[in-house]
Structure 1
Amino acid sequence: MPGNRKSGLLALGGIALAAVLAVLGHLDVNEDLNPWSLTVSDFAVSDRGGVIDAAMVLLAAATLVLLPALRRAGAQRPARALLAAWAAGLLAAAVVPTNEPGTALGTAAYLHRYASVVAFLALPAAGWLLAGPLGGRVAGRLRTLALTGLLLAGAMLWSAYPGDRMLLGLAERLLILAEVALLAVVAAAVARRADPRPPGIDLKHTSTPTVVLSGSTAAR
C-alpha cells in the first residue's frame, strides 16, 4: 500500500492533469456552444469520449487514491463514504452522457443529471467532515471551500429551475473550481502528513542491556 506522501502526490498529479484536459476540452469544441449558459456536460456530449470525459475519470481516480491514506489519517467512515460517492458520481456522469443541447431529456440524461447532483453535494460534505481529522490551517480552508461549494450548488439549482438557466454554465464552472480546489487541498494535506511507523523496536527509547560478569569470569 503506498504511503501518504505517495498517495497525495499521485492524487495532485491526477487533479492537475484533469484540469488541463478540461481546459483543452473547452477550447476544442463547436463555437456555437456558450460556456456561460451551457454546462460542462453539454460540452462533453459534443465530444463524446473526449478529453472532458477523461478529466472526470481522472478526478474520480485521484479521489480513490486518497481513500486509504485518509483512513490512516483518522478520517471517519462517513467522510470516506462521501468521497467515494463523489468519485462514483463522476464515473457515472462520464460513462452515461447527457442529452444534446436543445433536445428532450431521456433516461440516460436523467441518470447523468442525478449522478452529477450526488457528486456535487457529496464532496463539500466530505470536505467539511475531513476538516477535523486533517486539522490546522487545512481545516479552515476545507470549511471555507465546502461552504462555497454548497452556496454555488444552490445557485446552480436556482439557475437550472426558477432562473430559466440564466448563467447556468458560469455557476457550474465556479462550483467545479471550488470543488476541485477542495480536493487539491485534501491531497496536499495527505502528501504533507507523515507516514505511520511500522510496528517494531524503537531503538531511541530502548535501554542498552547490561551484562553482569561474575568475579571469576571477570578475572579471566
Structure 2
Amino acid sequence: MPGTRNTGVLALGGIAVAALLTVIGHLEVNDDLNPWALTISDFAVSDRGGVIDVAMVVLALATVALLYGLRRTGPPRPGAGRTAELLLGAWVAGLLLAAMVPTNEPGTAMTPAAYVHRYASVVAFLALPVGGWLLARRPDLDAAARTLRALALLSLTLAAAMVWSAYPGDRVLIGLAERLLIVTEVAVLGTVAVIQTRRVTPARGA
C-alpha cells in the first residue's frame, strides 16, 4: 500500500507556495501599510481576493495533506491521535473561514464579518500549537517530539504576546507578533511534513 511520503511532499510544496504568495502579497499592497503595526489580515483586506487569501487556502490544503498522511500511519498512543487530528481540522476550518470572510479596513469600525474573521483566526492560532503538542506523543513522530513541543510552547507564548498587544498593549508591534506566530506555527506543519517524507508507512489495516 502507498505510504505517507507523498503527503509530506505535497504538504511541503503547499507550505512553500503559501509562503511565496504571502511575500508577493506584502509587496503588492499599498506602501503606506506598516507590517509591524498591521496584521496580515489588514494587508489581505486591502487586496480582497488577492494572493494572501489564496495563500491561506493553499496552507489549509497543505494541512489536509498532512492529516491524510497521519490517518494512514499506525494507531497513535491513546489520547494523542484523534484529538490532535481534530485540532488540526479546526486550524484548517479557521484558515478557510478567515480567507473567505474579510476583516475590517484598518482604522474603521469592526463589522460582524470582521468579528467572524477575528474569532476564526483565534481558533486557528490556538488549535495548531495544542495539536502540535499532542502530535509529539505519536510514535511515528518520536524523532521530532522535542522540536514539536518547543514550537508549540513558542507559538503559545507568541499568541499570548499578540493578545496582549491587541488589548492592553494598544496594538503595539501586533503585526510583528502575528508574523512570528505564523512562522512558528507553520514550522510545526513543516516538521511533521519532513518526517512524513522520510518514511513510507503501510496504511492501516494493510
More deviation in 125-134 or 171-180?
125-134
Residue in structure 2 matched with residue 95 of structure 1 by the alignment: 100
In structure 2, how many angstroms separate the alpha carbons of the residues matched to 1:99 and 1:199? 48
Residue in structure 2 matched with residue 215 of structure 1 by the alignment: none
- Shift in Å at residue 99 of structure 1? 0.2
Relative to 1, partners in 2 of residues 1:50 and 1:141: Cα closer, same or farther, differing over 3 Å? same
In structure 2, how many angstroms separate the alpha carbons of the residues matched to 1:89 and 1:197? 28
Match among 131, 135, 145 for residue 139 of structure 1 = 145
Residue in structure 1 matched with residue 155 of structure 2 by the alignment: 149
Residue in structure 2 matched with residue 213 of structure 1 by the alignment: none
Relative to 1, partners in 2 of residues 1:99 and 1:190: Cα closer, same or farther, differing over 3 Å? same
Is the contact made by 2:72 and 2:204 (CA closer than 8 Å) also made in structure 1? no
Is the contact made by 2:93 and 2:124 (CA closer than 8 Å) also made in structure 1? yes
Letter of the 2:125 partner, please give it: F
Q: SS at the partner of 1:30?
A: coil
Q: SS at the partner of 1:132?
A: coil
Residue in structure 1 matched with residue 193 of structure 2 by the alignment: 187
Relative to 1, partners in 2 of residues 1:171 and 1:197: Cα closer, same or farther, differing over 3 Å? closer
Letter of the 1:42 partner, please give it: D
Residue in structure 2 matched with residue 161 of structure 1 by the alignment: 167
Deviation string 1:134-154 (CA, Å, 9 cap, x unpaired) is 343300110000000000000
Give the total of aligned pairs: 200
C-alpha root-mean-square deviation of aligned residues, in Å?
A: 1.6
More deviation in 127-136 or 139-148?
127-136
Relative to 1, partners in 2 of residues 1:198 and 1:166: Cα closer, same or farther, differing over 3 Å? closer
Relative to 1, partners in 2 of residues 1:199 and 1:101: Cα closer, same or farther, differing over 3 Å? closer
Relative to 1, partners in 2 of residues 1:87 and 1:199: Cα closer, same or farther, differing over 3 Å? closer
User: Are 1:112 and 2:117 counterparts?
Assistant: yes
- Shift in Å at residue 193 of structure 1? 2.6
Alignment of 1:197-208 (within 5 A): none
Letter of the 2:11 partner, please give it: A
Is the contact made by 2:3 and 2:203 (CA closer than 8 Å) also made in structure 1? no
Residue in structure 1 matched with residue 27 of structure 2 by the alignment: 27
In structure 2, how many angstroms separate the alpha carbons of the residues matched to 1:80 and 1:197? 17
In structure 1, how many angstroms separate the alpha carbons of the residues matched to 2:46 and 2:203? 49
Deviation string 1:161-189 (CA, Å, 9 cap, x unpaired) is 00000000000000000001111001111
Deviation string 1:76-113 (CA, Å, 9 cap, x unpaired) is 11000000000000000000000000000000000000
Relative to 1, partners in 2 of residues 1:197 and 1:173: Cα closer, same or farther, differing over 3 Å? closer
Residue in structure 2 matched with residue 54 of structure 1 by the alignment: 54
- Shift in Å at residue 197 of structure 1? 6.6
In structure 1, how many angstroms separate the alpha carbons of the residues matched to 2:201 and 2:94? 30
Residue in structure 1 matched with residue 134 of structure 2 by the alignment: 129
Give the structure with higher Rg (CA). Answer: 1
State the TM-score, normalizing by the size of structure 1: 0.87
In structure 2, how many angstroms separate the alpha carbons of the residues matched to 1:52 and 1:198? 36
Q: Gaps spanning 5+ residues in structure 1: where?
A: 201-220
Q: SS at the partner of 1:193?
A: coil
State the TM-score, normalizing by the size of structure 2: 0.93
Residue in structure 1 matched with residue 178 of structure 2 by the alignment: 172
Alignment of 1:65-84 (within 5 A): 65-73=65-73, 74-75=75-76, 76-84=81-89
More deviation in 66-75 or 95-104?
66-75
Q: Gaps spanning 5+ residues in structure 2: where?
A: none
